[in-house]
């Protein structure tokens, strides 16, 4: 009917103003939501649970060491400074050192909330291929499993991603005090970065480099939406320690849906749900 066609044209125009038509947005959100659903289902399963605990343990150990060393250095420096400029107050140096340790501990905890992304990225990079392989073999047994990237390419990608993650989150930390900007910048910056890098990682396991780059370019919007979901997880304390694993599993499912099946000879590929 005419009014329905007009409403649809209006909806499409509204979508075009943000870069996507209604049909394009629907085509992106369906696979993304399905990939997120599958990732949430897979993470507690035994093949991934062990990797999750190892990654969490190592990440927490690194954060604890940084926090302990940072507070000790700052409180020691403040105590030395107070000793060099004493004031006639009982236990002045001790009080200054204690207050410096308390304040620095709080500041480092706030900073850790923003720097947890590069820390977890660096740690989880050790386990990402294991996570991707467990997901591929467990959920897509009739398809050819992915292949780890060559070690030089993998190392370069890991270093680039860790550096970009550190830079993005330092910027987010710098604007954190601006009302209404800090959290949005955190979500958008990390959503873009996670979507781009983890999608590229999952695609590269299944395709050669040119094909993986073409797939990433064709589905950058879907990768960004999936990255936003991972960035939302990243903003939740404690839960954010599992972000790299969640992002990896989500992107494996997303790439599988967008690239089509690659059945092993003699098997019947499973239908995508």
Using one digit for the tens of pLDDT, what is the confidence trace for 161-210?
Answer: 778 877 887 787 777 777 778 778 888 988 999 999 899 999 999 888 89
Distances (CA, A) of 15 to 18, 21, 24, 25: 6, 4, 9, 8
Please classify residue 59 by burial: count the beta carbons closer than 10 Å to its beta carbon, then call 0-12 exposed, 13-18 middle and 19+ buried.
Answer: buried
- Pairwise CA distance, residues 238 & 243, whole Å: 10
Nearest C-alpha neighbor of 225 from the set 41, 33, 42? 33
Predicted TM-score (pTM) above 0.75: no
Whole-number pLDDT of residue 266: 42
pLDDT digits (tens, 9 = 90+) for 98-152: 676 667 666 666 666 666 767 777 777 778 888 898 898 888 888 887 888 777 7
Structure tokens at 240: 């954010």
Backbone dihedral angles phi then psi of residue 142, each to the nearest 5 degrees: -90, 5
CB 213 within 8 A of CB 222: no
């Amino acid at each position: 009917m005419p009014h329905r066609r007009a409403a649809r044209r209006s909806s499409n125009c509204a979508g075009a103003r943000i870069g996507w038509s209604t049909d394009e947005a629907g085509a992106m959100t369906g696979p993304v939501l399905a990939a997120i659903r599958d990732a949430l289902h897979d993470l507690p399963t035994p093949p991934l649970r062990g990797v999750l605990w190892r990654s969490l343990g190592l990440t927490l150990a690194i954060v604890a060491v940084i926090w302990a060393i940072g507070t000790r250095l700052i409180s020691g420096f403040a105590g030395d400074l107070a000793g060099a400029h004493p004031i006639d107050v009982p236990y002045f140096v001790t009080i200054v050192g204690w207050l410096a340790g308390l304040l620095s501990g709080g500041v480092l905890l706030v900073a850790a909330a923003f720097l947890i992304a590069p820390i977890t990225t660096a740690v989880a990079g050790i386990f990402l291929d294991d996570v991707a392989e467990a997901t591929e073999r467990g959920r897509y047994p009739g398809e050819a499993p992915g292949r780890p990237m060559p070690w030089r390419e993998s190392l370069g990608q890991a270093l680039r991603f860790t550096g970009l993650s550190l830079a993005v989150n330092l910027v987010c930390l710098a604007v954190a005090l601006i009302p209404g900007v800090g959290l949005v910048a955190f979500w958008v910056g990390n959503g873009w970065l996670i979507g781009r890098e983890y999608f590229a990682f999952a695609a590269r396991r299944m395709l050669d480099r040119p094909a993986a780059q073409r797939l990433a370019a064709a589905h950058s919007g879907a990768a960004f939406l999936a990255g936003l979901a991972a960035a939302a997880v990243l903003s939740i304390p404690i839960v954010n320690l599992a972000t790299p694993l969640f992002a990896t599993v989500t992107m494996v499912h997303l790439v599988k849906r967008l690239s089509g099946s690659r059945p092993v000879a003699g098997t019947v590929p499973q239908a995508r749900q």
